[in-house]
Structure 1
Amino acid sequence: MPDTLITGAGAIGLQTAYLLAQSGQQVTLLDQSATGQESSWAGGGIVSPLYPWRYSPAVTALSHWSQNFYPGLGERLLAETGIDPEVYVTGLYWLDLEDEAEALAWAAREGRALSKVPAAEVAQAVPPLGAGFSSAIHLEGVANVRNPRLLQALRARLQQMPNVQVIEHCPVTGFVRDGERVVGVRTERGEFLADQVVVAAGAWSASLLATLGLSLPVKPMKGQMILYKCAEDFLPSMVLAEGRYAIPRRDGHILIGSTLEDVGFDKVPTDEALASLKTSAEALLPALADAQVVRQWAGLRPGSPEGIPYIGPVPDFDGLWLNCGHFRNGLVLAPASCQLLVDLMLGQAPILDPTPYLPAGRMGRV
């Protein structure tokens, strides 16, 4: 019987499994589909919240820890698996912000290298940028990670570890209990037992916990994106304006995102979103008007109040732990979230004060 069973094999579940296995635990990781095919795959991979100054200190703390961790994680996974997650440091420009003064004040408090930049300087630094932007702020050192490759590398690393079992296409339908203790999960393939169970099922976490009579305020929020292919040196930096962003990959792919739609578990891309995203793309980078959209897709973010994830034990259900509800920031918050959870599970000194993330007092009953 494994020490820990994790349901959900996205960025959160994979990194939680990785850390627990490194500590010597036997880990089983279950997913309802293939590894890393939901919101972790569908996002843009910016290693920063889109507007970090608009979030609570709880999100900021996880974000700062993870941002410092990602370059080393990328190098380690490349060395261990031969798969490069492509942690690409480009910096990020925000254009024509309404709350620019608040952003600069936040940066001063947090010691972040965010600075106001003249529009002419931005035009010189980012040649394909559209005209008409009057103000900009810039944060150097911000990276993006090629999230599908990060997920592939994590999956490959877990496959190398003899104390990890990954089981795909195995939906979890409920929990196995021994009195007040959760001792496993029920699936379409039968029961899987473990000493501890971690729910890292993203937008599906709430429906799973509802089988225990628990009400978790996490719901799916649809996001659609489109992808262009340009020359490798087309876009030297990430840019963001009016809620839409452009992210360059090293090989010239440009991601444009994203929508934010409250439509339940619908993941079907729409023509309306395509038109809206193309309009945003061409306003940011007019040359994209002559480029072809390579792909359009949608994912379901695990929306939660204030975007603060649930990390820690579930009260009154011994053996049950949560690591879910990261909303738009699952990828950037994953390293810190997973390390914090593992610290709590193993009784180690936590990397951060866990209080803001604990499920206690933040959940109800169905």
Structure 2
Amino acid sequence: MKSDGKVLLVGGGAIGMLSALLLGLSGRRVCVLDKEATGRESSWAGGGIVSPLYPWRYSAAVTALAHWSQDFYPGFGQRLLDETGVDPEVHVTGLYWLDLDDEVEALAWAQREGRPLFSVDVAEAYQQVPVLGGGFKRAIHMPGVANVRNPRLVKALRAALLAMPNVELREHCPVTGFIQEEGRICGVTTADGEIRAERVVLAAGAWSGELLKTLGLTLPVEPVKGQMILYKCAEGFLPSMVLAKGRYAIPRRDGHILIGSTLEYAGFDKTPTDNALESLKASAEELLPALKDAEVVGHWAGLRPGSPEGIPFIGQVPSHPGLWLNCGHFRNGLVLAPASCQLLVDLMLEREPIIDPAPYTPARLLD
């Protein structure tokens, strides 16, 4: 890649903005395009747990990205705060899983991978999380798990990019297609006209597959709707994240409690529903009975970029030189973002990659 070559990032979520930040820090000229305001889709809507919900159920490809990213977040959050004044609130609380069906597999995974996940007496879980609902029989605990306040993370990333003279943000600029000349992708078409660059990175989340269709390419990335609700409690009400029966509770530092999440295949519909609201409230009250008397202060839906096995596509599209992908992270976009973006930049700049890039190559499933 030419040292002065311009890179277009299509998609201004956490993946797109962090890719742009790393490319910008390497001295490249970067332009980030987003159809709306940056960071307002799944990056804003998710819970921000810096771990897959059930890490032992994923392939080694997801595990490799997650391990690298988990170690990256605390220092990264502090750097963003120092540089932008916006605190992403990387909050280390640990996580309790309760009454898991596959607890044996979880503990075997932890031993194999060298991760700090332990079986604990359920009495310990109740001692550490006194507001926990009754009736749980078993618990496992990972003490170092953090959550990041994702709306503030994307706000901090945006502020960091705006401060960089070699990075441009173009919001409310939907991309309609790609410019292809002499067998190469050399830019995109937008409602505002053509924008050209040496390379184009598609990081448009759930919309990535739709954009690739304009090139006659089929990528198995599809929207998967997730709904969440938010309560406001006293600070310190919930000292640890907890997860049971597929639903989780995430505490923020100021007492807000996130409860999530549904998993719905409903196309690009992001409408919150009453059925999901009632289901999430029931889960919340089973996990934390005191929430029965608390007010739901937020209810929203977002669209995850679903992909086979949740393995993202990272790398150049072989049939279309100049076009790169960083998409398809499914439920783990924020978890995997640091490693995914570093791997992309390593490949683009022909550096030694942080991990083996083979499992993520777009060629594996792109038709």
Q: TM-score range by the shorter chain?
A: over 0.9
Match of 1:106 among 97, 105, 109: 109
The letter of the residue matching 2:343 is L
The letter of the residue matching 2:149 is R
Structure 2 residue 241 is matched with structure 1 residue 238: yes
Moved more, 312-321 or 1-10: 1-10
Which residue of 1 is the match for residue 191 of structure 2? 188
Which residue of 2 is the match for residue 22 of structure 1? 25
Deviation at 1:3, TM superposition (A): 1.2
The letter of the residue matching 2:224 is M
Deviation at 1:151, TM superposition (A): 0.3
Distance 1:119 1:217 in 2: 41
Deviation at 1:361, TM superposition (A): 2.6
Deviation at 1:282, TM superposition (A): 0.1
Match of 2:34 among 6, 31, 34: 31
Write out the 4+ residue segments of structure 1 that deviate beyond 6 Å after TM superposition. none
Structure 2 gap segments, 5+ residues each:
none
Q: How does 1:99-248 map to 2 (within 5 A)?
A: 99-248=102-251
Distance 2:121 2:28 in 1: 53
Structure 2 residue 261 is matched with structure 1 residue 250: no
Deviation at 1:348, TM superposition (A): 0.3
Deviations 1:232-273 (A, max 9, x none): 010000000000000000000000000000000000000000
Structure 2 residue 63 is matched with structure 1 residue 60: yes
Distance 1:2 1:291 in 2: 53
Which residue of 2 is the match for residue 74 of structure 1? 77
Deviations 1:55-109 (A, max 9, x none): 0000000000000000010010000000000000000000000000000000000
Distance 1:250 1:361 in 2: 41
Distance 1:193 1:248 in 2: 44
Deviation at 1:2, TM superposition (A): 5.8
Deviations 1:312-361 (A, max 9, x none): 00011010000000000000000000000000000000000000000013
The letter of the residue matching 2:247 is R
Backbone CA RMSD of aligned residues: 0.7
Query: Number of residues paired by the alignment?
Result: 364
Distance 1:113 1:206 in 2: 36
Match of 2:314 among 311, 314, 335: 311
Structure 2 residue 288 is matched with structure 1 residue 291: no
Q: Helix, strand or coil for the counterpart of 2:194?
A: strand
- TM-score, structure 1 normalization: 0.99
Which residue of 1 is the match for residue 49 of structure 2? 46
Structure 2 residue 333 is matched with structure 1 residue 337: no
Q: Is the 8 A contact 1:26 1:163 kept in 2?
A: yes
- TM-score, structure 2 normalization: 0.99
Structure 1 gap segments, 5+ residues each:
none
